[in-house]
Amino acid sequence: MTDHTPQRPGHFALVVFPQYEPLDAFGPTEILHGLGHPMVNPDSAKVHLSIIGPSLEPVSSGPAEGDPSPHKSRVAQSIVPTHTFDNPPKDIDVLIVPGGFGAGPKALWGGGWEPAGVERVVQFLRDQYPGLKHLLTVCNGAGLAARAGILDGHKATTNKQLWQVITTTGPKTHWVANARWVVADNGKLWTSSGVSSGTDAMLALVDYTWGKNAQGVLFGDVLKEGMEWNRVYDSTADPFAVSNKCTDVEPQAA
Amino acid sequence: MTDHTPQRPGHFALVVFPQYEPLDAFGPTEILHGLGHPMVNPDSAKVHLSIIGPSLEPVSSGPAEGDPSPHKSRVAQSIVPTHTFDNPPKDIDVLIVPGGFGAGPKALWGGGWEPAGVERVVQFLRDQYPGLKHLLTVCNGAGLAARAGILDGHKATTNKQLWQVITTTGPKTHWVANARWVVADNGKLWTSSGVSSGTDAMLALVDYTWGKNAQGVLFGDVLKEGMEWNRVYDSTADPFAVSNKCTDVEPQAA
């Protein structure tokens, strides 16, 4: 990526669905909150976030209706989409896909159940990927991208506590264990590990796409100072792969 | 705090107001999301989050109506309160106060303006503090607590980039520079530095109040694994105090 010339994306979009994991979503978007500040970025007016959900009604991170699994937190935040999957904004540059209980797959949590809306999210990702500049998945959001076929033939990573289950969703993917995040498909495809790893991946993506400011400082470094974020620069520095004893899962032969 | 016996709080509440900083709020509450999971905490049914705002309408982190300052991000998320300041839930154990542009004070950002609702938030904190088990402020949320008089006579910390301005809101406070977070008032008062520091403070607060699980592992350590959070254990390990050249601000003589 050393010969890479940054192409500064302006239109970011976040996918939300019932039982999304809040920090998966709000870590990466906090970075955009900063990138959209005039005091941080003279070109901030270019930065825009769309939030895309099943409908324009608030979407809760709490238990979904009909879910029989007891493994659900009662702690929830509801956020408000700006667009729907059926009527999304045009010209999305970067699409952010969180994980969470609502991302499934069915084999997770022992419930054998997932919200009926998951297939719609998978289809949305399948439809959008060709037109994107970048896709960033966080946590088991990688499983949604895998089910859309987007990870086929690529390297990727995902949550380390859910490693055994999520990696089954992408049998044609080389799942990299020792990775806080993985970049593939010529810089288009970014997958991160669990929850807060998405924030480090997003800082790296901002550096990759926005590069340095007029003072020669990487935008990601300006932003991590404002967030007081103890940033991880090395994408292979992943103590959680070690603590969870994860090893690579090679793609299966066709 | 070594002789301390954990008292496990169940009712957490988050204050929100226009132009709150999202990660100030969603970092600490992500920890509650985990603490509320039955697979993490056998006593999870005790854990509950209320979200308290000016009204029950969605509250946006984006620019507030009437704000003349150009220093605003257009990137925003709206979340939905469960209660209002005028009709709050009873028996809150732990109150979480984020910062953000909407927390002011007027001297910030050069605009000399702050949302009209800030005084209502300050009054709410003043009214609630006596009945709480713990108050946790994040970022310039400390300025709201200072204006409520809660920080008078105590040690506290706040955002390091906003150090010079926020410390003026609490002239009777000893502001500690080299601190990711500070505990005062016999363990009741927790103030954290900028944005993501609130998440480390919350993990420490969960350890302080919930202690260890049946396997002898601190709840904070169980939760940081699920979040893949590179946890800071040492409250004095603050590279951002160094990078921003912050020094202690002693309380002024009466």
**A78 to B80: CB separation less than 8 angstroms, yes or no:** yes
Report yes or no on B67 lying in a domain: no
Report yes or no on B250 lying in a domain: no
Tens of pLDDT, residue by residue over B141-157, are 999 999 999 999 999 99
Report yes or no on A249 lying in a domain: no
Report yes or no on A253 lying in a domain: no
**B228 to A240: CB separation less than 8 angstroms, yes or no:** yes
**B38 to A77: CB separation less than 8 angstroms, yes or no:** no
Tens of pLDDT, residue by residue over A187-241, are 999 999 999 999 999 999 999 999 999 999 999 999 999 999 999 999 999 999 9
Predicted complex ipTM: 0.90
Q: Across the interface, which of A35, A44, A194 has its CB nearest the CB of B228?
A: A194
Report yes or no on A6 lying in a domain: no
* CATH for B215: 3.40.50.880
Q: Which of A5, A23, A24 is nearest to A158 (CA)?
A: A24
Report yes or no on A67 lying in a domain: no
The rounded distance, in Å, linking the Cα atoms of A143 and A52 is 18
User: What would the two tokens of residue A57 be?
Assistant: 């009604």
Min CA distance, B240 vs chain A (Å)? 6
Q: Which domain holds residue B128?
A: 11-60+77-244
Mean pLDDT of A56-61: 86
Residue B23: pLDDT over 60: yes
Q: What is the total count of domains within chain B?
A: 1
pTM to 2 decimal places: 0.93
Min CA distance, A246 vs chain B (Å)? 14
Q: What are phi and psi of A128, to 5 degrees?
A: -80, -35
Q: What are phi and psi of A127, to 5 degrees?
A: -70, -40
**A80 to B58: CB separation less than 8 angstroms, yes or no:** yes
Report yes or no on B110 lying in a domain: yes
- Token look-up 């150090």 returns B163
Tens of pLDDT, residue by residue over B182-221, are 999 999 999 999 999 999 999 999 999 999 999 999 999 9
Chain B interface mutation, best of A41, A75, A137, highest count of B Cβ atoms under 10 Å: A75
The rounded distance, in Å, linking the Cα atoms of B138 and B158 is 7
Report yes or no on B169 lying in a domain: yes
Q: Across the interface, which of B36, B74, B225 has its CB nearest the CB of A73?
A: B36
Q: Which of A107, A52, A125 is nearest to A85 (CA)?
A: A52
Chain B interface mutation, best of A73, A217, A223, highest count of B Cβ atoms under 10 Å: A73
